[in-house]
Amino acid sequence: MQNINESVAYIKSCYPKNIDICIVLGSGLSDIADEIRNPVSISYKDIPNFPLSTAPGHEGKLIIGELEDKVVLCMKGRLHFYEGYPLSKVTYPIRVIKSLGINKLILTNAAGAINRDYAVGDLVLIKDHLNFIGSNPLIGPNLDDYGPRFIDMSNCYNFQLRELAKRVAEKQGVNLQEGVYVGYSGPSYETPAEIKAFRILGGDVVGMSTVPEAIVANHCGMQTLAISCLTNMAAGVTSNKLNEDEVLKVGAEIAPKFSKLIKGIISKM
């Protein structure tokens, strides 16, 4: 808690106003941060106790400012389990965000399609998840200041915010799919056999983030919305090999549609 309080104090010294919403930006999806008005940029390396993002496409900055008449904090760069951080570090920013007084969280990610009815370029609203990361960020001493030892996960991805997202997407003419996200540790991509198993278990999309953040946000009592941008078909769905450059390239192509949807949702939150 002392570390968190030090991080919070520094961020507030840079931006003392109240903040309404946090958006965690996935790989190749950082363009929306460029639309923030009167932005204040804070590098992770300058925030006391804040872990650094090392993944490609993740700059490691907080951008705080005005978007759609709300004050928004964008995380340009998240932490991943595969970077070698324990999940308590991966989710440290979520605790800091909650302690800044932010109660609404939008998680985004680049993901692979398990569901054969999906296509590259689709946006998928996450309604639930399967945790195959291999651990849980709440393991260890409970932080009672945030929530109880045992938490219900049935509304982890807030139902009201999902319904709002659907209405905005329909108005914009965006084909917003809805499905179950499979969290995988990485950094290797999944094998075709694993993807087949995930499909049998009910998974629709797969990625290497989001699940730990959603669990901790739920523990903190935050209202959480999560959207995947499909940058590739998962292993074995097609004969194509998976590579990081393609994920970033397709993410950049999806970005305008994604940004429009996110801004529409923020305006109604």
- All structural domains of the chain, each given as residue ranges with its CATH number in brackets, are 2-268 (3.40.50.1580)
- Cα–Cα distance between 35 and 10 in angstroms, integer? 24
Average pLDDT on 247-257 reads 77
Q: What percent of the chain has pLDDT over 90?
A: 81
To the nearest whole number, what is the mean pLDDT of the chain? 93
**pLDDT exceeds cutoff 70 at 58:** no
β-pair type (70-76, 61-67): antiparallel
Where does residue 126 rank: exposed (0-12), middle (13-18), buried (19+ CB within 10 A)?
buried
CB 251 within 8 A of CB 266: no
pLDDT-based confidence at residue 256 (cuts at 50, 70, 90): confident
Q: For residue 158, which amino acid is it? A: N
**pLDDT exceeds cutoff 90 at 109:** yes
pLDDT in tens, 199-218: 999 999 999 999 999 999 99
Distance, CA of 185 to chain centre: 15
**pLDDT exceeds cutoff 90 at 165:** yes
Q: What share of the chain is helix, strand, coil (3-state, %, to 5)?
A: 35, 25, 40
Angstrom CA distances, 36 to 40, 41, 64, 224, stand at: 9, 11, 7, 21
Average pLDDT on 17-41 reads 90
β-pair type (21-25, 123-132): unpaired
What's residue 176's pLDDT?
A: 96
126 CB-near residues (< 8 Å, 6+ apart): 107, 157, 178, 179, 180, 181, 205, 210, 226, 227, 228
Average pLDDT on 180-191 reads 95
Question: Which candidate, 120, 221, 132, 223, places its Cα nearest to that of 180?
Answer: 132
CB 246 within 8 A of CB 56: no
Instruction: Quote the DSSP letter at residue 68.
Output: T
Helix (H, G, I), strand (E, B) or coil at 244: helix
CB 41 within 8 A of CB 62: yes
pLDDT in tens, 119-143: 999 999 999 999 999 999 999 999 9
